[in-house]
Structure 1
Amino acid sequence: MKIFSVLYDKVLRWSAHPHASRYLVSMSFCEAIFWPIPPDVMLAPMSLAKPQKAWHFALLTTAASVLGGAVGFALGWLLFEPVVQPFIHWVGYDHQLVKAQQWFSQYGLWIVLLAGFSPLPYKFFTVTAGVMQMMFLPFMLMSLVSRAARFFLVAGLMKLGGARMEEKLRHYIDWLGWATVLLAVAAYLILR
């Protein structure tokens, strides 16, 4: 089933859109608060389509994500009970929030470094840092370092790979897509 090839082609077309940078910024900002799709989905094809602007795209993505992280932090700090907690319960993520709180208790701000770089849902850690009233400046520093490392790595790999990377990615995109789905289901079952 070639679902991911079709999606990949659409994302490549979107990445060439005149407003693609705005979409990337919006997606990066919202992903740090509530949006389920990581900005890498747009950053990678945009960096492939315009390798000369890859660093610019990585910088935009990092800045928007860190600013979104600050908003997530503020929501956790100021509006957890009236707004965030009911929303988390409504979408059925109560367990993930408890898990994030346990990780914060165990690892402190180092978990922000891990969450910002890895495929862990960064939004849980931005809100949880606010709920647990972590120190804001160290939180922002860890967010900046981890998000920049991740997004500059993605942009750099796409810039380095160029047309050959795009061709290889197109060839394996369906396998990669289904493997990601399987990993997400496995992670959900394990963390559940």
Structure 2
Amino acid sequence: MFRSLYDWTISLAGRKSSEKWLAVVAFVESSIFLVPADVLFVPMAFARPDRVWRYAFVATVASVLGGVAGWFLGYYAFETVAKPVLEFYGKLDAFNQLSQSVDLSTIILLLITSGFAHLPPIKVVTILSGVAHVNLWLFIVSAVVARGARFMLLAWLLQRYGESVRDFIERRLTQLAMAVCAVAIFSFVAYRYVAH
């Protein structure tokens, strides 16, 4: 199922309506969709390098709005909507583990790492933020920073290096982002340990 979903998402890049589809995929990725918006963003940027910053802006705004939708799902409709979505994608266990051991500062860290490197999946954290009643404006600022950083970094790499960076983006960018996030998580845990 994931492969066919991935292939369908890639096929959207060649359509005239690809920018609208980028907004849709970025929006739903943050609350209910499995395939990251990067899958559509990268081929679109290669096809129209003159629009790469515009695409990054569209993806960021739509992703943040999707995150807000996830927050509302967690805040107002966890049992009726969010829980079945998490069960469908097999993310309910991850959600339950996170929800039992987080406080506000941990959620903010997770928002940044999930927004930048999908670690853990962004939909899990947006819904968790609503369930935990994280301040909506703080949530939005964190989402703008994390998602904006990811899409703007992609735009900069694509504009600066073009086709030569394609293999790096497709194979290594997520690993690099995860490594940066692992350092952030380690620093956060070390800080919390020393502070206590």
Structure 1 and Structure 2 fold alike (TM over 0.5):
yes
The Cα shift of 1:113 comes to 1.2
**C-alpha contact 2:107 2:125 (8 A) present in aligned 1:** no
Question: Is this contact kept in 2: 1:76–1:84, CA < 8 A?
Answer: yes
Distance 1:103 1:18 in 2: 45
Inter-partner Cα distance in structure 2 for 1:64 and 1:130: 18
1:98 aligns with 2:96: yes
Alignment root-mean-square deviation, CA: 2.8
1:40 lines up with 2:22 in the alignment: no
SS at match of 2:36: coil
Question: Retained in 1: the 8 A contact 2:158–2:165?
Answer: yes
- The residue number in structure 2 matching 1:19 is 17
Alpha-carbon contact 2:26-2:36 (below 8 Å) kept = yes
- Is 2:79 the counterpart of 1:81? yes
Structure 2 residue runs of 5 or longer lacking an equivalent are: 176-196
User: How big is each residue's C-alpha offset from its partner over 1:72-125, in whole Å with a ceiling of 9 and x where there is no partner?
Assistant: 000100001222223433543221102332463271322211111112210100
Matches within 5 A, 1:11-160: 11=10, 14-102=12-100, 104-105=102-103, 107-120=106-119, 121-160=121-160
Q: CA deviation at 1:48?
A: 1.5
- Separation in structure 2 between the aligned mates of residue 114 and residue 19 of structure 1, nearest angstrom: 30
Normalising by structure 2, report the TM-score.
Answer: 0.75
Q: What percent of counterpart residues are identical?
A: 28
Report which structure shows greater RCO (CA 8 Å, sep ≥6). Answer: 1
Count of aligned residue pairs for this structure pair: 167
Question: How far apart are the structure 2 equivalents of 1:15 and 1:108?
Answer: 33
The verdict on how the C-alpha distance between 1:149 and 1:102 changes in structure 2, with shifts beyond 3 A counting, is farther
Partners of 1:128 and 1:71 in 2: how far apart? 12
- Cα 1:156/1:76, change in 2 over 3 Å: same
The one-letter amino acid of 2:123's match is K
Report what 1:165 is aligned to: 165
Deviates more, 1:97-106 or 1:33-42: 97-106
